[in-house]
Amino acid sequence: MNPEFKDCLKKQKIKKFSRGKALVNKELKTAEDDLKTAKESFNNENYKWTTIQCYYSMFHSARALLYSKNYRERSHYCLTVALRVFYGEMGFLSIDLIEGFQKAKTLRENADYYDQWSKVGAEALLDIAKKFLNVSTKLIKSNSSNSS
């Protein structure tokens, strides 16, 4: 077992969650709504909020993926670890998208805590968040049709 994932389980930052699958669609809808709002913020030249909203779109997409496995996160870091274990190591989610999620977290923290953001960063995150949502949705639909 991946040692980081094992540590997240031990610290209960990743836990089994029997209701996970029932909440997948809610998380995907939230991810879609956040991405839509991020696009509106970008069009209004509000790049700080674009950055933050893109990260949260990706966060909810990632959470939907984790919920589809009946797990729940209690840490943004452990959510990334779980994505790598369940989807990256299995070849379902590209390293580029997982790294994009990590980059989005860093850019969101910079915008939130240090008042640092840019149009270029916001524009890049819009593209990554859109891809992340599309791939997450396809993976979830594929998994649900395979388990039916």
| CB atoms closer than 10 angstroms to residue 139 | 18
Q: Which residue has the tokens 């859109």?
A: 130
- Dist. CA 134–CA 69, nearest whole Å: 18
Q: How far apart are the first and last CA of the chain?
A: 27
How would residue 147 be classed by pLDDT, with cut points 50, 70 and 90?
low
Q: Return the amino acid letter for 3.
A: P
- Dist. CA 37–CA 4, nearest whole Å: 33
What residues form DSSP beta bridges with 15?
Answer: 72
- Dist. CA 124–CA 76, nearest whole Å: 21
Task: Write out pLDDT tens, residues 42-61.
Answer: 999 999 999 999 999 999 99
pLDDT at 146: 64
Any idea which fold 3-9+19-142 has?
Four Helix Bundle (Hemerythrin (Met), subunit A) (1.20.120)
- Dist. CA 86–CA 81, nearest whole Å: 9
Task: Write out pLDDT tens, residues 95-145.
Answer: 999 999 999 999 999 999 999 999 999 999 999 999 999 999 999 998 776
How would residue 1 be classed by pLDDT, with cut points 50, 70 and 90?
confident
Domain ranges across the chain: 3-9+19-142
